[in-house]
Amino acid sequence: MLQPPYPELDNLLEMMGEAGKRLSEIEASEGAAGNISVYLQWPVELRTRFPLVEPIVLPQPVPKLAGETFLVTGSGRRLREIIDEPVASIGCIVVDEGGETGKLFTSHQRRFERLTSEFNSHLAVHYDQIVASGTNFHAIIHAQPPHLTYLSHVPRYQAENYLNTHLLRWQPETIINLPEGIGFVPFAIPSSPELMDATLKSLRQHRIVVWAKHGVMARSDVSVKRAADRVEYAETAAKYEYLNLSAGEIGEGLSPDEIRAICTTFKVQQKIF
């Protein structure tokens, strides 16, 4: 939930660009992998930057969001290039009355045919979160950080408890930034209703979820860069775990007692350790 003054369209485009650049720097968005979407409840002037308008059918009805706005990356666009020319990579949707259709605003510089094919999962999670919490802002990122994705191929890390007790033990900040831990969704075909449904449920309990053998989805109701930070915290934790496996598991990690003491000091509520 944001308090006024609300960010302007240009600030939001800039933050999407910075998040995309950072995800690229940590190698979580090779080629055109990854996508970003942002929901805002307050009205913004779109036509100056996005003068072309066409009708679209939304992947699911969102009747409570009539008149409200989404900024969404285009299919096949590179997250690292958003920062240079955001209007080439992003489309804006304003939801119509009834919530089944919308208007897609794009630029003359538009370099995509359709919005990201993962928009069904993005929209389902946005709607679930917005209706449950009443937030006026919500950002979602899908990225493919390699260490985290690699560990999701190893059977023992496919159990949520094992994944979290092993990844959240390498730095004191990890439990502070991810107090609900990392959700885990078993492999499902990209863009499928199964993936959408499992993601929506896991993101009710977590701020980031691993899609087995694929990547992650992270959310924030504060900023798009905060969602990118969550990807980075989880990927850094996975990198330590990978280093430890490579070194023959000689690292101790923080003990459960040490992590509980950190949580007491910093007043972090958690149920993992």
Give min distance, CB of 173 to Zn ion, in A. 27
Nearby residues of 267 by Cβ (< 8 Å), 6 or more positions away: none
Cβ closer to Zn ion: 61 or 193? 193
Task: With CA atoms as reference, report the closest residue to 105 among 124, 86, 121.
Answer: 86
Nearby residues of 261 by Cβ (< 8 Å), 6 or more positions away: none
Cβ closer to Zn ion: 9 or 217? 217
- Tell me, residue by residue from 198 to 217, as one string, x for binding to Zn ion by CB under 5 A and - for no binding: -----------------x--
Q: Could you say which residues in the range 209-268 bind Zn ion, by CB under 5 A?
A: 215
240 — alpha (psi -120 to 50), left (phi > 0) or beta? alpha
Cβ closer to Zn ion: 142 or 169? 142
Q: Could you say which residues in the range 3-22 bind Zn ion, by CB under 5 A?
A: none
Q: Which parts of the chain fold into alpha helices (H)? A: 9-25, 86-89, 119-133, 146-151, 160-167, 172-177, 193-205, 224-246, 256-265
Task: With CA atoms as reference, report the closest residue to 34 among 42, 26, 43.
Answer: 26
Give min distance, CB of 143 to Zn ion, in A. 8
Residue nearest to Zn ion (CB): 215
Cβ closer to Zn ion: 102 or 215? 215
Structure token pair of residue 203: 């993101």
Cβ closer to Zn ion: 86 or 215? 215
Structure token pair of residue 40: 């805002």
- Tell me, residue by residue from 162 to 201, as one string, x for binding to Zn ion by CB under 5 A and - for no binding: ----------------------------------------
Binding site for Zn ion (CB under 5 A): 215
